[in-house]
Amino acid sequence: MKILMPLTEGFEEIEAIAVIDILRRAEIEVVVAGLKEGLVEGAHKVKVLPDISLEKIDSGDFDGIILPGGYPGYVNLGKDERILNMVREMDRAGKYVAAICCAPYTLIKAGVLQGRKATVSPSGKKEVSAAAKYCEDRVVVDGNLITSQSPGTAMEFALKLVEVLAGEEAMRKVKAQTLAICMGD
């Protein structure tokens, strides 16, 4: 599996870094692509150097895309036509499309949430409810679409992604290694 995580100014650090770390522990290749060259500053002033810039990748080389939230990160993702097109193309191809916190807003803009089950940060409930079947669950899987609510659900989101992408055994291994506890455990 090869997964793309685009980063833009204002991304939510916990949602990005926790997910990257957990997926890489499960030996899932995660390519972090900045929307521009150089360091990207998160919502809480943490600076991250992406692996590559978005302009240098071919989205067809990936099995899925994961969008972190954060303000103004999710707004910036939703304004970028390259991201919207990648989300549409991956969804049409049945590849994995995942978003956490307010990043499902980008999925709405891309037109991939219509009639599907999804969750979002409580602040985005109205918008997601208008476009999708809103669920209160902390992590929601609807076919190739995976959504989650907030920085506080990032570990559960990451572990669910591992389970979907690499299997339950890989998820249990990483969960044990990290002593992760999820709601319902």
Q: Is 101 a catalytic residue?
A: yes
**What would the two tokens of residue 63 be?**
């099995």
* d(C-alpha 27, C-alpha 35), whole Å: 24
Among residues 101, 102, 135, 182, the one annotated as catalytic is 101
Which one, of 169, 162, 134, 141, lies nearest residue 25 by Cα?
Answer: 162
Which one, of 76, 104, 100, 73, lies nearest residue 160 by Cα?
Answer: 100
Burial group, residue 152, by CB count within 10 angstroms (0-12, 13-18, 19+): middle
List Cα–Cα distances, 40 to 11, 155, 158, in angstroms. 8, 22, 21
Number of residues in the chain = 185
Question: Which are the catalytic amino acids?
Answer: 101
